[in-house]
Amino acid sequence: MNIPHVLSQVIRRSPSLSQILDATVEIVARDMGTDVCSIYLLDPADHRLRLAATKGLHREALGKVTLALGEGITGIVVAEMRSIAVEDASSHPGYRYFPETGEEQFQSYLGVPMAIRNRPVGAIVIQTRDRRKFNQDEIETLNTIAAQLVGVVENARLIHAIDQPDQGKHYLKELRTWNKGLVARPKGAEGELVLKGAPASGGIALGRAVYRGVYDIGLEPPADATQDPVREKRRMGIAIEKARGDILRIQEAAEKETDEEHALIFSSHLMLLNDPTLLDRLERACDQFLPAPYAVAQVFAEIESQISRISDVYIQERVEDIRDLRNRLLAGLLERDHPAQSLANSIVVAHGLPPSLVVELKVQGALAMVTERGGTTSHGALLARAMGIPAVTGVEGLGESVRTGDEMIVDGNSGKVVVRPTARTLAGYMKRADFQTATRSRLAALRQEPARSLCGQTLPLLANVGMASEVHQAVLYGAEGIGLYRTEFPFMIREDFPTREEQVRIYERAARAFPKGPIYFRILDLGGDKYHPRVSRTDESNPVLGYRSIRLMLDNPRLLKEQVKAFLQVARGLKSGILVPMVSSMTELRKTRTLIEEAAKELGSESGGRLPAIGAMIEVPAAVEIASDLAREVDFFSIGSNDLIQFTLAADRENARVSPFGDAYHPAVLRMLRRVITAGHAAGIPVSCCGEISSTPELAVLLMAMGIDSLSLIPSSIPTVKEAIRRSDVRRLREKLDEILALSEAKEIREAIARELPAIKEPEPVE
């Protein structure tokens, strides 16, 4: 049986921590054939390991047996954060025996640590009565289980933090600040208003505003205390049940709409809703004659204030979940007085962008969303993109400017939001929206056509994907394969790492869509803006230049090899390759190659008996400089222009203020691109480009003129780029290339290319 898979089912059902731990020890002991399985958790209060669950030891010892770090073999496992396997535990120098547990009868021992961000959380231990040698597979399985449990334990810590006794009352402060603008409905806010935010998910939508996630209408502390506690508690119970039902429904919808890996997003919501202390606090607030909505607002305001005092990034990150839950409860309670408006055909205005809200919008048929907070790489933004919902985030002053029912235009391509547009603006946008629709149907006709230029040159157009829904889009838009499979998403969406089997299941969807390939899987590119609680560092002042990507993976060889094995299992029989991200030296490349080869060897016949093609991503200026050296030891190059531009021009790609400096037309960038292509071809290897420049029609054609062998781009941009190539005379542009690249200003280069490609795009209507 696949234990990690079974466990994730247990976790998904999200009962309490103790139920999950009890189920875990039962499942592990049964399926690994051991007499004992125990879990010890580190108590942050006294820094001792406490026996939290066991199958096989005396249950009376639960919660009682404690160890200092470094005490006993388990104490050593945790203190030194390493797995220990011994055939005869009593002969181990660290052996210490606890009579309360009855463990003297057990001989063999395997313990693995549980840790998050290098902080010890506890250990999971198996023991057998007979002498037994634990093999590498068993050690790895237990490590995977430990990694899975860490996320659950951390959720429980969040609840523990919530369950601390009250530390001062904070009455609805944050809640009111945000709601003031919405409830007060600013009278002066008439007429057209243009707001600017971050373009989080592309597309244009026109519709009427509906607020979501904000329900504090008139929620001032009540003047009198004449409520009926019994009635209020009943109301509360109904609202809790409704919230639970809603979340379960969203979870199911998330699974259907996206991938099963998204469903775990909601595990902390469910755990919170099952927390007896939270439920008790809500009841007690009702007993104090507070009406149920005020009880919710008060208890959650206290919780947020408690959490704000904890300096743990993980816990801080969960605040969004807590707010989401509070708003759901308030929505349930206030629905009668303020019936929830349907989201169908509306533009949803919200404070933040929790993933649950995105899924809900999709399910209810909303047109677009605009939020006051949030960037373009949050989980919510990623989901919005995956689901094709236009979204603009980080719009300052949104709450003060929009009233329910206001007409709005959301331009997810540019990040522009127009509130109460004039008839003239509306007509302009309508024209653009019509133009978009017409263009879409014209381009749809090109689906089966090749990207062949006027001069007869053909370029393979592949897709960049990161999740299953993008794989569907890749097929829909006529991609010829997957040129960049970004594998981070399933790793980022949850605290534990997906197991190899889970990864195989996820990657298999891509293989089913492109059964002959090609599919180029990228090794995990974590770190930088793709923070992961288990491996990323929180103490870096400049994470983009920090501990990330292949640097981080080379320090986690097991993780890297497991991922490579998953790629190889899926890629049998189809054309595929492995992309190594952020390579900056030959040493890194060689070390990575060695690990890939070891993984293939360990997998044996399952890998199809061949080594995968290995490609270096060229996205650091150093890699451009040593491109000829790298080219001798890889099978292909793929240019990651997003990072290459950010590092070459020292312009943070996530910082909107410096985005004009990250200009792809800068001669430094374009000359580098040409050098990489030339170096690759001199060594006889193909060169592709998978950065966003491949989605810009003019630059895609320019890359073609430079001799690029294929492009990988956002699926929805494939038709536009294909059409641009079909309208271009690439040979003519190639003849002018030296002249164009000799120009010293981006502006001149842009103009020169536009002159050479007069018919590349249909002119867009002016607003």
The residues binding ligand PEP (CB under 6 A) are: 484, 486, 525, 619, 640-643, 690-691
Q: Quote the CA–CA distance of 640 and 676 in Å, as a whole number.
A: 11
Q: What is the DSSP string of 667-733?
A: HHHHHHHHHHHHHHHHTT--EEE-SGGGGSHHHHHHHHHHT--EEEE-GGGHHHHHHHHHT--HHHH
The entry of ligand PEP, Mg ion, none near residue 486 (CB within 5 to 8 angstroms by kind) is ligand PEP
**Least distance between ligand PEP and beta carbon 552 (Å):** 14
Question: Residues 275, 320, 643, 756: which binds Mg ion (CB under 5 A)?
Answer: 643
Element (H, E) at 408: strand 407-411
**Least distance between ligand PEP and beta carbon 685 (Å):** 18
The entry of ligand PEP, Mg ion, none near residue 641 (CB within 5 to 8 angstroms by kind) is ligand PEP
692 binds Mg ion per the rule CB under 5 A:
no
Please say which residue, 354 or 691, places its beta carbon nearer to ligand PEP.
Answer: 691
Find the farthest-apart pair of alpha carbons in the chain and give their distance in angstroms, rounded: 85
Q: Quote the CA–CA distance of 236 and 242 in Å, as a whole number.
A: 10
Chain positions 604 to 633 lying near Mg ion, rule: CB under 5 A, are 619
Q: Quote the CA–CA distance of 344 and 362 in Å, as a whole number.
A: 9
640 binds Mg ion per the rule CB under 5 A:
yes
Please say which residue, 41 or 560, places its beta carbon nearer to ligand PEP.
Answer: 560
Please say which residue, 261 or 619, places its beta carbon nearer to Mg ion.
Answer: 619
Stretch that binds Mg ion, among 212-220, 292-300, 505-513, 639-647 (CB under 5 A): 639-647
Please say which residue, 212 or 385, places its beta carbon nearer to ligand PEP.
Answer: 385
Please say which residue, 213 or 640, places its beta carbon nearer to ligand PEP.
Answer: 640
Clarify whether 690 is annotated catalytic: yes
Task: Pick the closest to residue 112 from 86, 166, 74, 152 (CA basis).
Answer: 74
In Å, how far from its chain's centre is CA 31?
32
Binding mask 562-601 for Mg ion (x = CB under 5 A): ----------------------------------------
371 Cβ contact partners less than 8 Å away, ≥ 6 residues apart: 197, 349, 350, 351, 352, 353, 391, 392, 393, 394, 395, 398
Please say which residue, 202 or 352, places its beta carbon nearer to ligand PEP.
Answer: 202
Q: Quote the CA–CA distance of 307 and 325 in Å, as a whole number.
A: 15
Are 687 and 636 a contacting pair, CB within 8 Å? yes
Angle between helices 276-287 and 292-308 (to 10 degrees): 130
Q: Which two tokens stand for residue 682?
A: 């001199």
**Least distance between ligand PEP and beta carbon 644 (Å):** 7
**Least distance between Mg ion and beta carbon 642 (Å):** 5
**Least distance between ligand PEP and beta carbon 618 (Å):** 9
Please say which residue, 291 or 640, places its beta carbon nearer to Mg ion.
Answer: 640
Other C-beta atoms within 10 Å of 131: how many?
10
Task: Pick the closest to residue 167 from 306, 294, 261 (CA basis).
Answer: 306
Binding residues for Mg ion, total number by CB under 5 A: 3
The entry of Mg ion, ligand PEP, none near residue 588 (CB within 5 to 8 angstroms by kind) is none
Please say which residue, 57 or 386, places its beta carbon nearer to ligand PEP.
Answer: 386
**Least distance between ligand PEP and beta carbon 530 (Å):** 8
**Least distance between ligand PEP and beta carbon 751 (Å):** 25
Are 607 and 600 a contacting pair, CB within 8 Å? yes
Task: Pick the closest to residue 419 from 205, 192, 188 (CA basis).
Answer: 192
Please say which residue, 215 or 485, places its beta carbon nearer to Mg ion.
Answer: 485
Strand partners, 639: 618, 689
Read off φ and ψ for residue 388, nearest 5 degrees: 70, 35
Task: Give 739-744's long-range contacts (Cβ < 8 A, gap of 24+).
Answer: 741/667, 741/670, 741/671, 741/674, 743/667, 744/667
Please say which residue, 348 or 492, places its beta carbon nearer to ligand PEP.
Answer: 492
Strand partners, 20: none
SS3 609: coil
Clarify whether 286 is annotated catalytic: no
The entry of ligand PEP, Mg ion, none near residue 364 (CB within 5 to 8 angstroms by kind) is none
Q: Is the dihedral of CA 184, 188, 191, 193 positive or negative?
A: negative
Active-site pick, 37, 286, 689, 690: 690
The entry of Mg ion, ligand PEP, none near residue 576 (CB within 5 to 8 angstroms by kind) is none
Residue 66, CA distances (Å) to 75, 82, 116, 406 in order: 10, 19, 21, 61
**Least distance between Mg ion and beta carbon 641 (Å):** 9
Active-site pick, 262, 351, 379, 666: 379
**Least distance between ligand PEP and beta carbon 639 (Å):** 7
The entry of ligand PEP, Mg ion, none near residue 372 (CB within 5 to 8 angstroms by kind) is none
Q: Position 582: which residue type?
A: M
**Least distance between Mg ion and beta carbon 563 (Å):** 17
Cα 380–Cα 212–Cα 180 angle in degrees, nearest 5: 115
Residue whose tokens read 């993976």: 553
Q: Which residues are catalytic?
A: 379, 690
Chain residues binding Mg ion by CB under 5 A are 619, 640, 643
